[in-house]
Amino acid sequence: MATILGIESTCDETAAAVVVDGRHVRSNVVASQVDLHARYRGVVPEIASRAHIENILPVLQQALSEAHCTFADIDAIAIANRPGLIGSLLIGVSAAKTLAWALGKPLVAVDHVHAHLYSGELEELMVDDRGMMNGGSGPGAGFQSSIINPQSSFPSVGLVCSGGHTALYHLRSWNDVTLVGSTIDDAVGEAYDKVAAILGLGYPGGPILDQLAAEGDPQAIAFPRTLLGRESLDFSFSGLKTAVLYHVRGVPGRVVESSQIKPPPTPQELRDIAASFQAACIEVIVKKLQRAAKRFDARSVVLGGGVSANRGLRAALANFPLPVVFPQPVFCTDNAAMIAGLADVLLGQNRVAGLGLDAVTYSEIRRQPVEGASA
């Protein structure tokens, strides 16, 4: 039974978590930078790395204290060293290496995107003042966890859908993961964020549009569904985003008289646009999951990433012919519990990293994939 301290700093969340046995989350601390980046409607790398420096030590301390642990209780340090923004990654990687060296504990390197796939395996446990573990009572409390038995559920098809990724995987086990499809332009979460910006809503756009969509008519506007051919497992969302832009502002060049300039959408039109946009995203995602499940003879489907919190997507997959595993909402967005959780699997196979471990950016991964990394 291993107790692992996980660290996550790949993008704009500084996070640390203590996870026992790859599954039981004793603490899960996330310092979000969303407020710092909101005015730019996207992550500013320089601001992100500076905030990680400020946050990393308090976040680590809080994770240990909430888990009622000291460093002596920790068996290994897990770090998401790939893929991400270089300045952000380096803060977490340096902290993890320092801890591993100073404490004499093994260091485990985890792929952030693969860890999103694993996040449905996590169980939130809250620790009371005496260090006793209870059922969860945080944001994910009361949510029906559909934890599957990994032994019986592979091969599986996994989808990581977030602000940075729309990546489809064939999983033979938790660490035999092959990328089989990805977005050729915008990630689905990015499309949510950009559509929210077009509509003058806040950032991040996903939760806001999800909320609005619940009150709108998904058939009000026939936005395009881009499937990229009959066999493709890739995704494209930029055409859909542009279709929303043209619907709201008119097609450029076609507006010749001021009377043709569209007024801003009414509240009900906003709800209908949100619902119709969301319906298009979901239909494409479900279709690709069906294709992949058939192609790889899958026995289950696993989802992860911020967009896997989407209520419409969860409802649409409720009748999928295979078991579908969603993370508890608290583990959908970036967190370190998923890093510590997957590290438990890797540690069990002696996949320990050296202190020369490097941070690997998105573009480096695209140029030269290394063992086990297909994102």
Binding site residues, ligand KG4, CB under 6 A: 11, 162-164, 189, 192-193, 204-207, 210, 305-307, 309-310, 333-334
Q: Which is nearer to Zn ion, 190 or 334 (CB)?
A: 334
- Provide the CB-side half-sphere exposure for 325 (13 A, CA): 26
Q: Which is nearer to ligand KG4, 28 or 333 (CB)?
A: 333
Instruction: Give the shortest CB-162-to-Zn ion separation in angstroms.
Output: 5
Nearest to 327 by CA among 155, 159, 187, 203: 159
Instruction: Give the shortest CB-112-to-Zn ion separation in angstroms.
Output: 6
* Residue in this structure with the two tokens 């790889």, named with its chain if needed: 296
Q: Which stretch binds Zn ion (CB under 5 A): 22-30, 100-108, 229-237, 330-338?
A: 330-338
What is the C-alpha separation between 92 and 245, in angstroms, rounded?
Answer: 38
Instruction: Give the shortest CB-160-to-Zn ion separation in angstroms.
Output: 7
Instruction: Give the shortest CB-205-to-Zn ion separation in angstroms.
Output: 16
What is the C-alpha separation between 303 and 257, in angstroms, rounded?
Answer: 47
Tell me which of Zn ion, ligand KG4, none is bound by residue 192, counting a contact when its beta carbon lies within the kind-specific cut-off of 5 to 8 angstroms: ligand KG4
- Binding mask 69-88 vs Zn ion (x if CB under 5 A, - otherwise)? --------------------
**Residues near 1 by Cβ (< 8 Å), separated by ≥ 6?**
20, 21
Instruction: Give the shortest CB-59-to-Zn ion separation in angstroms.
Output: 17
Q: Is 334 in the site for Zn ion (CB under 5 A)?
A: yes
User: Taking the CB of residue 110, how many other CB atoms lie within 10 A of it?
Assistant: 29
What is the C-alpha separation between 293 and 155, in angstroms, rounded?
Answer: 9
Amino acid 155 reads P
Q: Is 193 in the site for Zn ion (CB under 5 A)?
A: no
What is the C-alpha separation between 123 and 135, in angstroms, rounded?
Answer: 9
Binding positions for Zn ion, rule: CB under 5 A: 162, 334
